[in-house]
Amino acid sequence: MCGIIGINSNKPVSATIINSLKKLEYRGYDSAGMATINNGLINEVKSEGRVENLEKNSLVQNMEGTIGIGHVRWATHGLPNSINAHPHSSQNVSVVHNGIIENSTILKKFLIGKGHKFKSQTDTEVIVHLITENLKTDNIVDSIKKTLKSLHGSFALGIIFKDQPDLIVGARRGSPLAVGYGPNENYLGSDSYALKSMTNKITYLNDGEFCIIKRDHVEFFSEEGTKINKKVLKLSSTEEKYDKGDYKHFMAKEIEEQPNTIKNGINEYLDMSNKDINIYNFPWKSNEITSITLIGCGTAYHSCLMAKYWFEEITSLDVNIDIASEFRYRKNRFKKDTLYVFVSQSGETADTYAALDLCKQSGVKTCAVVNVVESSIARDSEFVLPIHCGTEIGVASTKAFLGQILILYILALKLALWRKDIEKNNFNKKIDDLKKLPKLIEQTLLIDNKIQTISNTFNEAKGSMFLGRGFSYPIALEGALKLKELSYIHAEGYPAGEMKHGPLALIEEGMPVVVLAPRDNYYKKTISNMQEVIARGAKVLLITNKSKDEVISENIWETIEVESTNEDLLPFLLTIPLQKLAYYSALKKGYDIDKPRNLAKSVTVE
Ligand code: F6R
């Protein structure tokens, strides 16, 4: 995680660094800091907490200098306080870092032996002292090359030097880094998003590369220190304006935007006049794929799980899913006829990227389902299916989840059609139902008041459970994840049928349990499981869909009915009340909904 910005300009940079750091807060918000060079000295200012704390710091307001680096931190080594905040500086060198230096303990020992004094508990500080040490004998390029060779682990770095006040060094291994080009100034940033307000001309560094950013030009170097040429890419759009509008939080806005998320996806991928799916330039023939493996983290993993149910139902493909952090360390048997699909909102998640990298090294087929189309995962996959849900700011993924599952559902339908696994009539019917989905989501979003009251019970409880079967099981996991990350309430998602194999022991008088039981193939079975938890004292919130048939069960605490549609699409609607439940629970607790504690929007460390 952590966000990096660097600016080399002919005008003061501190205000622009602060603005860029605000954009980067989705990468971490434990602390923030910046350093500039002015009058032959490195000035460093750091604050605990949000960028607004840094902005209010009087030292920043008076900070001069036309070259500088800034950082937002998501703590890995050392407490989230102002001492451990970046930049870390010696007298000569100042460094901002995203990643983890795995051999920092050994390096620190070596550097202390050489007389270097450490101020923080971070792994980053070793980089500062290593460069300082190497600069005693080497020029900038050689000292950087040597330093990078000594580091184990992952990093994106921004470095400034007191004695070279006209340049910023950027370097990358594992963690992403981009260079931007402006008029009489050039930039360094963790990603294009941070740079978009300043430029749409970007170069991405590849693993092992480093660069020297001067005001009027940028030089790139390979790991060996050889000069290399790199392409300048033009980003597709200029900066997207994104604010909360009349909403209190981005999350509330993003939940309400979901009908549009689905509309955008439908407009992009469905050919309504021909009842077909537009997936152009798909690089493989349908007979070249016999199985599919879906990989992601967190909510994106839940999208993969959701997709597994659909792919198995609609296609004859073998389907596997994996959590990226597990996939990358297992002994995988890569198969040429498997399509490996990487699901990610940010497209920068370190574990998902590493899993993609492994697949690329094995020469198998790779496809990305991402929101950020300029991201590393999108750039490095053979084929990309964008989610088109627009920028998602709230740390808890909402509209990106619906966007991801929509695209995966569409992919399942298209592969089924290509492979003749689905009859055209059935396919057409599913396309017609899909077209109606935005309206149904809009109607389901109206359930506000009831959920607000219900959320009180969850807030007062020690813990809660979310149960579902079949298509509803991934949604139960997602509902539990949303509640725990936003309201800090223990919540467990479970397959409804598994309760009696252990977790039933947790149920006690008054424990809130969400049961997802839409009128699908699993309905009766789930209702039986619901009765088992009610019999043990649980307060059940039943979430089902509207139907002419009454729910036959006694002692249900509360019922919420979403709109009705075909079985495949019910998961989209069931998600809505769960997102709202998490939102209102956190709102009532007064928590920071868009930036829950200990988390970051883009998880760029493993
Ligand atoms: C939870 C959430 C996270 C992300 C996960 C993967 O609400 O947002 O679990 O889904 O960190 O992130 P991406 O999708 O950017 O790869």
Q: Quick: pLDDT tens for 61-103.
A: 889 999 999 999 988 888 999 999 999 999 999 999 998 999 9
Query: Looking at residue 462, what DSSP letter applies?
Result: S
Residue 228 has pLDDT above 70, yes or no: yes
* Whole-Å CA distances, 217 to 65, 183, 504, 589: 19, 11, 65, 51
Cβ within 8 Å of residue 362, ≥6 positions away: 332, 334
552-562 pLDDT tens trace: 788 999 999 99
In short, whether 297's Cβ falls inside 6 Å of ligand 1 is: yes
Cβ within 8 Å of residue 464, ≥6 positions away: 458, 480, 483, 489, 490, 491, 492, 511, 512, 513, 514
On the question of a common fold for 3-234 and 250-444, the answer reads no
- The class (CATH top level) of 448-589 is alpha beta
- Provide the pLDDT confidence category of residue 397 given band limits of 50, 70 and 90: very high
120-165 pLDDT tens trace: 999 999 999 999 999 999 999 999 999 999 999 989 999 999 999 9
Contact 315, 416 (CB under 8 A): yes
Pairing of strands 512-516, 539-545: parallel
Ramachandran bin of 515, using left for φ above 0, alpha for ψ from -120 to 50, beta for the remaining angles: beta
Percent of the chain with pLDDT over 70: 99
Q: What burial class does residue 281 get, using C-beta atoms within 10 Å of its C-beta: 0-12 exposed, 13-18 middle, 19+ buried?
A: exposed
Q: What is the pLDDT of the chain when averaged over all its residues? A: 94
Q: What burial class does residue 274 get, using C-beta atoms within 10 Å of its C-beta: 0-12 exposed, 13-18 middle, 19+ buried?
A: exposed
In short, whether 575's Cβ falls inside 6 Å of ligand 1 is: no
Cβ within 8 Å of residue 559, ≥6 positions away: 541, 542, 543, 544, 551
End-to-end Cα distance, the chain:
9
In short, whether 381's Cβ falls inside 6 Å of ligand 1 is: no
Region 205-221: what's the mean pLDDT?
A: 95
In short, whether 397's Cβ falls inside 6 Å of ligand 1 is: yes
Pairing of strands 463-468, 512-516: parallel
In short, whether 396's Cβ falls inside 6 Å of ligand 1 is: yes
Atom of ligand 1 nearest to the CA of 296: 16
Q: What burial class does residue 597 get, using C-beta atoms within 10 Å of its C-beta: 0-12 exposed, 13-18 middle, 19+ buried?
A: exposed
496 CA to middle of ligand 1, Å?
Answer: 24
In short, whether 304's Cβ falls inside 6 Å of ligand 1 is: no
313-342 pLDDT tens trace: 999 999 999 999 999 999 999 999 999 999
Residue 349 has pLDDT above 70, yes or no: yes
Between 3.40.50.11030, 3.40.50.720, 3.40.50.10490, 3.60.15.10, what CATH number should domain 250-444 receive? Answer: 3.40.50.10490
Distance CA 147, CA 525 (A): 61
Distance CA 272, CA 67 (A): 53
Contact 159, 94 (CB under 8 A): yes
Encoded tokens for 229: 């040429």
Distance CA 492, CA 430 (A): 32
The superfamily CATH assigns to domain 3-234 is Aminohydrolase, N-terminal nucleophile (Ntn) domain (3.60.20.10)
For residue 236, the model assigns a pLDDT of 66
Phi, psi (rounded to 5 degrees) for 552: -95, 95
If residue 463 lies in a helix (H) or strand (E), which one and from where to where? strand 463-468
Residue 239 has pLDDT above 60, yes or no: no
Atom of ligand 1 nearest to the CA of 299: 10
Encoded tokens for 367: 């496809």
Distance CA 527, CA 515 (A): 8
- Provide the pLDDT confidence category of residue 565 given band limits of 50, 70 and 90: very high
In short, whether 344's Cβ falls inside 6 Å of ligand 1 is: yes
Angle (nearest 5°) at CA 82 between 108 and 21: 105
Distance CA 383, CA 400 (A): 19
For residue 241, the model assigns a pLDDT of 64
Q: Where are the domains of the chain?
A: 3-234, 250-444, 448-589
Distance CA 473, CA 465 (A): 12
297 CA to middle of ligand 1, Å?
Answer: 6
- Best of 349, 372, 398 to mutate for ligand 1, by most ligand atoms within 8 A of CB? 349
For residue 245, the model assigns a pLDDT of 86
Question: Which tops the pLDDT comparison, 62 or 225?
Answer: 225
Tell me whether residue 2 is one of the annotated catalytic residues: yes
Contact 347, 339 (CB under 8 A): no
Residue 273 has pLDDT above 80, yes or no: no
Atom of ligand 1 nearest to the CA of 345: 14
Distance CA 219, CA 197 (A): 23
In short, whether 170's Cβ falls inside 6 Å of ligand 1 is: no
Instruction: Name which residue sits closest to atom 6 of ligand 1, judged by CA.
Output: 297
Instruction: Name which residue sits closest to atom 3 of ligand 1, judged by CA.
Output: 298
Residue 243 has pLDDT above 70, yes or no: yes
Tell me whether residue 601 is one of the annotated catalytic residues: yes
| Active-site choice (2, 304, 359, 367) | 2
Instruction: Name which residue sits closest to atom 10 of ligand 1, judged by CA.
Output: 299
| Active-site choice (46, 108, 595, 601) | 601
Residue 521 has pLDDT above 70, yes or no: yes
Buried b (16+ CB within 10 A) or exposed e, 337-352: ebbbbbbbbbbbbbbb
76 CA to middle of ligand 1, Å?
Answer: 18
Atom of ligand 1 nearest to the CA of 398: 7
Region 208-233: what's the mean pLDDT?
A: 94
Distance CA 147, CA 522 (A): 59
Percent of the chain with pLDDT over 90: 83
For residue 238, the model assigns a pLDDT of 54
For residue 449, the model assigns a pLDDT of 83
- Provide the pLDDT confidence category of residue 240 given band limits of 50, 70 and 90: low
Instruction: Name which residue sits closest to atom 7 of ligand 1, judged by CA.
Output: 396
Atom of ligand 1 nearest to the CA of 396: 7
Residue 606 has pLDDT above 80, yes or no: no
In short, whether 346's Cβ falls inside 6 Å of ligand 1 is: yes
Atom of ligand 1 nearest to the CA of 370: 14
For residue 321, the model assigns a pLDDT of 97
* Residue given tokens 């050919």 in the structure block: 271
Buried b (16+ CB within 10 A) or exposed e, 128-149: bbbbbbbbeeeebbebbbbbbe
602 CA to middle of ligand 1, Å?
Answer: 7
- Provide the pLDDT confidence category of residue 600 given band limits of 50, 70 and 90: confident
